[in-house]
Amino acid sequence: MDIVRRNNVTVTGNLQGPTVILAHGFGCDQNMWRLTVPALAEDYRVVLFDYVGAGRSDSSVFSERRYASLHGYAQDVVDVCEALDLRDAAFVGHSVSSMIGVLAAAMAPRRIGSLVMVAPSPRYIDEDGYRGGFSAEDIEELLASLEANYLGWSGAMAPVIMGNEDRPELGDELKHSFCATDPEMARVFARTTFLSDSREELKSVQVPTLVLECTQDAIAPREVGAFVHRAIAGSTLITLDATGHCPHLSAPEATNAAILGFLAERR
Amino acid sequence: MMGRTEQQPDPNDPDHCHDGQASDAAFAALLEDSADDLYESAPCGYLSTLMDGTIAKANRTLLNWLGLEREAVVGRMRFADLLSVGGRLYHETHFAPLLRMQGEINGIALEVKRADGGRMPVLVSSVVKHGSAGDPLLIRTTLFDARDRRAYEEELLRGRRAAEEARRQSEADRARLQDALAVLQQSLLPHTLPSVPGVETAAYYHTASADRLGGDFYDVFPLDGKRFAFFLGDVCGKGPQAAAVTSLTRYTLRAAALHDPDPVAALTTLNHVLHERYTGGGDPRYCTAVFGTFEPDPATGAIAVQLASGGHPPALVLRADGTADFLPTPGGLLIGILPSAPFTAATTVLAPGDTLLLYTDGLTEARTGKDRTSLYGDEALLDFAVELAGESPHAVIQALTGLLDSFGEGLDDDTALLALGVPPTDPETRSTE
Amino acid sequence: MSPLKITTRDAATGPVLEIFGALDYAHAPELRQLVSVTPLQSGQCLVLDLGGMDFCDSSGISALIAARHHAHAAGADIALAAVPVNTLRVLRIVGLDQVFTLRPDSVT
């Protein structure tokens, strides 16, 4: 199978430099990193990709069974590493991709040499003695929201649903492809993401790890960031003065500086 | 009207003057609808937030929808705080990143929480206002009341879910039906042929249609310590009714043979059963069959075969010496159409290297030729058999399977093949002959 | 293969059905249906003229047998006329040549 095509792999930046993999989270695709790539491009070889079912991946190979577990997505990461024969790469994962990176690093230890976890959460649902920030009902509500926008999201979704991506009158193709995920696949990814529990896996992380959290994040509250930091021995925690769940978009300078600082220490 | 050609208004027309005054007054009233009032009372919610989502301004329409006082909202809440939890997740994972990347986003379905605990579906559009240096300053958002529309969409979604459920159900039903068909079909044919000391048997069944039960059948089974019985036949028609006849035929023949293994007696019993069962209903069902018994002779290795046919094409005997011939059973009648029917018996002895071949007319009635208008026929089959004479039953069935495959589309009926014979005593000797 | 066409006429001995085309799985039910509504009196003879029939499979044979049952139930006789060679061969194999009265043609 052509993994590069399947996962819409893009390689850019300084091709002689150390490799950094940028992995998008639930909701969008590799375009999420467009404010990050320029900061890394001078010194690093940057690998971008879309998980199967997201962005411009080959969604015909999507399997509900495989992607019903984060391991299925981690396998995508391992596949990309193997296809490009990456060694000792730095893996930068946003949101759920942080946890996918943890799994992938355990599956292919020689491929991934360090982790940057941007707004991670190993468990979204509250449990006895653990606060993830959400109840099971909240997650069902998110799934309902996804479903509601199956019809309602005319601006970004309709061209994809109707399969007219290539109609020129729809204008800026790039714009329309943002987050243009098939609703069924988005639902699988949402379930897998928000119902998963990766707290145990955090303890197994062996590689140098940077945890980035935001001061105000509705999805990954600060106590979750602290939890991740505590669970991964030797990890570094940086709290970015940023609002929302996407500091690489809302506070790109601070986010890039944190990532570059971490990467520079490792060179 | 006839005299009026000028379309210019007459300035002296008092009515015109009056109209002009009225519209001027209305226009003046419109001007009094200040931009502020338009903003506050617009038929949609307006919201301005800082880039971090903090609400800087909201119109009265929105505050009324929310059931909140301005003081509780402005400077105190973020846009995401107005949303249901699911909507907030959606906002963080889709809405906010898209807005950041595109600078605008249109028509997103979300729900706002009302002070009374209720939810209100809205359609949200946002645009980022940039400063003169191109830096993002604030986000302007409109919210449209989507209660009616959402109710309608929910109907659509319910319909879609119901359709999907119905499709899943029908797929499951179909799978179950196919499983049932497969089980039934297997009950019409022996799973494996019994092993008979000193005798080789082989069979093949070609199904013309995968989801249609076939009407051909065959079987080989032990009668007592020494003798075995076999049969092969063809029930008229296809589908479940034909399969029911096939099943009745198979088990009637098996039972009849245990009671009286004489071939004519077994077919006569079957004839009684089918005629009694089917003739009354106006839908006569019948079959053709060859039924036989054989008894190996341990001393010579040969087997003596007794058989009888009811309306079935004659069996073929392929001899070790390279010859082949039909074993004629003329005059045997279709089984089941008359209360009593004649069946014709025949006997033969199969020496080592001889093979008896039974087949159904799917083989001889296969359409051949360029435009598939000719039938394969008895003579071609006999010629084919002569070439195979001396081969083992397995080899004969294999060659015929290849022949059936070569018919392609021309083979449009179910076809059953059954061969039994005595393996050559010494293949080495044969090959040097 | 031409589709089935059946014409009916009355001869002195009873109804004559002339069959043209294919008497196969798809078309045999038409003959069954027609025969079942053809009036027959005791002592008459139902004649099926097969001279124009160019194909007959086991479903066709079934329809012929059903016609025979219908005739006998009415106390009438049945005859097959102008049976094509191929069909005659099949009738011999299945023993029906002894069950039906066979005539060279339908004219008596």
Residue C92, C-beta contacts closer than 8 angstroms, at least 6 positions apart? B330
pLDDT of residue B212: 66
pLDDT of residue A155: 36
Whether residue C31 has pLDDT greater than 70: yes
Which of A139, A152, A244 lies nearest to residue B92, judging by beta carbons? Answer: A244
In a domain, C57, yes or no: yes
Last residue of a domain, one of B112, B145, B178: B145
Which of B284, B332, B342 lies nearest to residue C66, judging by beta carbons? Answer: B284
- Which chains pack against B, by 3+ Cβ pairs within 8 A? A, C
Whether residue A92 has pLDDT greater than 50: yes
Last residue of a domain, one of B109, B124, B145: B145
Chain A hits for B105, CB-CB cut-off 8 Å, are 155-156
Q: Which domain holds residue B193?
A: 189-432
Last residue of a domain, one of B115, B145, B175: B145
In a domain, C16, yes or no: yes
**pTM of the full structure:** 0.55
In a domain, C13, yes or no: yes
CATH number of the domain enclosing B51: 3.30.450.20
In a domain, C30, yes or no: yes
Predicted interface score ipTM higher than 0.85:
no
Lowest-confidence region among A219-233, B38-52, B98-112: B98-112
Indicate which residue of A24, A176, A245, A248 is catalytic: A245
B203 with B134, same domain? no
Is B278's Cβ below 8 Å from some Cβ in A? no
Is C58's Cβ below 8 Å from some Cβ in B? yes
Which of B158, B151, B95 has its CA nearest to residue B119? B151
CA of B282: which chain C residue's CA is closest?
A: C66
Q: Is A235 a catalytic residue?
A: no
Which of B279, B282, B334 lies nearest to residue C94, judging by beta carbons? Answer: B334
B107 with B233, same domain? no
Q: Is A217 a catalytic residue?
A: yes
B423 vs B252: which has the higher pLDDT: B252
CATH number of the domain enclosing B383: 3.60.40.10
Which of B89, B101, B109 lies nearest to residue A149, judging by beta carbons? Answer: B109
CA of B372: which chain C residue's CA is closest?
A: C1
B133 with B239, same domain? no
Domain boundaries, chain A: 3-123+198-266
Q: Is A245 a catalytic residue?
A: yes
In a domain, B168, yes or no: no
Residues A19-61 have pLDDT tens digits of 999 999 988 889 889 899 999 999 999 999 999 988 889 988 9
Q: How many domains does chain B have?
A: 2
Confidence band of A179 (pLDDT split at 50, 70, 90): low
Q: How many domains does chain C have?
A: 1
Mean pLDDT of A218-236: 94
CA distance A221 to chain B (A): 13
Q: Which domain holds residue C30?
A: 5-103
Say which CATH superfamily domain A3-123+198-266 falls into. Alpha/Beta hydrolase fold, catalytic domain (3.40.50.1820)
CB C61 to CB B236 under 8 A?
yes
Whether residue B19 has pLDDT greater than 60: no
Is B80's Cβ below 8 Å from some Cβ in A? yes
CA distance B264 to chain C (A): 15
Element (H, E) at B264: helix B263-278
Tell me if there are at least 3 CB pairs under 8 Å linking chains C and A.
no
In a domain, C108, yes or no: no
Mean pLDDT of B110-122: 91
Residues B169-210 have pLDDT tens digits of 999 998 888 888 778 777 888 888 998 888 999 999 988 776
CATH number of the domain enclosing C42: 3.30.750.24
In a domain, B170, yes or no: no
pLDDT of residue B22: 67
Confidence band of A138 (pLDDT split at 50, 70, 90): confident
Interface of B with C in 206-235 (CB under 8 A): 234
List b or e across B42-61, with b for residues whose CB sees 16 or more CB atoms inside 10 angstroms.
Answer: eeebbbbbbbbbbbebbbeb
Whether residue B84 has pLDDT greater than 90: no
Whether residue A233 has pLDDT greater than 50: yes
Residues A140-164 have pLDDT tens digits of 887 777 766 654 343 333 333 333 3
